[in-house]
Amino acid sequence: MLQKYNRILLKLSGESLMGDRNFGIDAHMLEQYAKEIKEVTDIGVQVAIVIGGGNIYRGMNEAETGIERAQGDYMGMLATVINGMALQAALEKAGVKTRLQSAIKMEQVAEPYIRRKAIRHLEKGRVVIFGAGTGNPYFTTDTAGSLRAVEIQADVILKGTRVDGIYTADPEKDPTATMFESLSFTEVISRKLKVMDMTAFTLCQENALPIIVFDMNRPGNLLNVVTGKRVGTLVS
């Protein structure tokens, strides 16, 4: 089986790990994701992953919690490391060699993020999970995903979501919404479509890095995307 992409950056939301739960990590979702990721590594695709932390901690309103934005963002970064460790454990259990790298130093649980080391791991067929976002407050994990994808020279960002692409409106609220097969970066901006936050999106646009938004929860979809089948919405 021939892959269309040699090196991908898979961006997952923390909420996707909750499954049907309201909080935390669903073991079934972890197992499913590990199986999907193993399928693409088995055909030789190099996989890097950035995962959010919204299932554990989501930046809350400072006025309500008394926690300032920067402090809350650091708490969110630690949540992404917890998710990274969980995904690492599931992948290793499935027989996939992995490395977890963190933008915040915590030697006991993860390697520090070093760009050249990450690329070397990928070349050796290991899945690299990037934790702790960019290591800086005021940046989302979408931005971390775009930044890491550019740094490791990924061919594409695959944004795994609960919907099967980008729609004219929210398909969960508007039954008349239709899905786009492909869009240009300029069209996404002019139509005010929400793909990623503006910092992350601009980084992709400036570096001509395509983004595919697809339904990660449908079995086989990840393999379909990397082998060039028409899945989700391509932004390029």
Convert the pLDDT of each residue in 170-186 to its tens digit: 888 888 999 999 999 99
- DSSP per-residue codes, 59-89: ---HHHH---HHHHHHHHHHHHHHHHHHHHH
* Count of residues making up the chain: 236
pLDDT the model gives residue 215: 94
Per-residue confidence band for 27, with pLDDT thresholds at 50, 70 and 90: very high
pLDDT at 142 (0 to 100): 97
- pLDDT(146) > 90: yes
Cβ proximity of 134 and 143 under 8 Å: yes
The pLDDT mean for the chain works out to: 94
Mean pLDDT of 66-85: 94
Adjacent-strand bridge partners of 8: 47, 156
Q: Is residue 201 predicted with pLDDT exceeding 70?
A: yes
pLDDT at residue 108 is higher than 90: yes
pLDDT given for residue 101 in this prediction: 98
Q: In which band, very low, low, confident or very high, does the pLDDT at 160 lie, cut at 50, 70 and 90?
A: very high
What would the mean pLDDT of 195-223 be, rounded to a whole number?
A: 96
Average pLDDT over residues 9-36: 94
71 pLDDT higher than 80? yes
In this prediction, residue 66 has a pLDDT band, given cuts at 50, 70 and 90, of confident
The predicted model gives 154-158 an average pLDDT of 98
Check whether 91 has a pLDDT greater than 90.
yes
Read off the amino acid at residue 139. Answer: F
Q: Please, which pLDDT band fits residue 60 given cuts at 50, 70 and 90?
A: low
Q: Given a cut of 90, is residue 40 above it in pLDDT?
A: yes
Residue 59 has pLDDT above 80, yes or no: no
Please state the φ and ψ torsions of residue 99, each to the nearest 5 degrees: -135, 135
CA nearest to 141, candidates 57, 88, 77, 82: 77
Q: Say if residue 210's pLDDT is above 90.
A: yes
DSSP 52: -
pLDDT of residue 1: 67
Q: For domain 7-235, give the fold.
A: Carbamate kinase (3.40.1160)
Domain ranges of the chain: 7-235
How would residue 102 be classed by pLDDT, with cut points 50, 70 and 90? Answer: very high
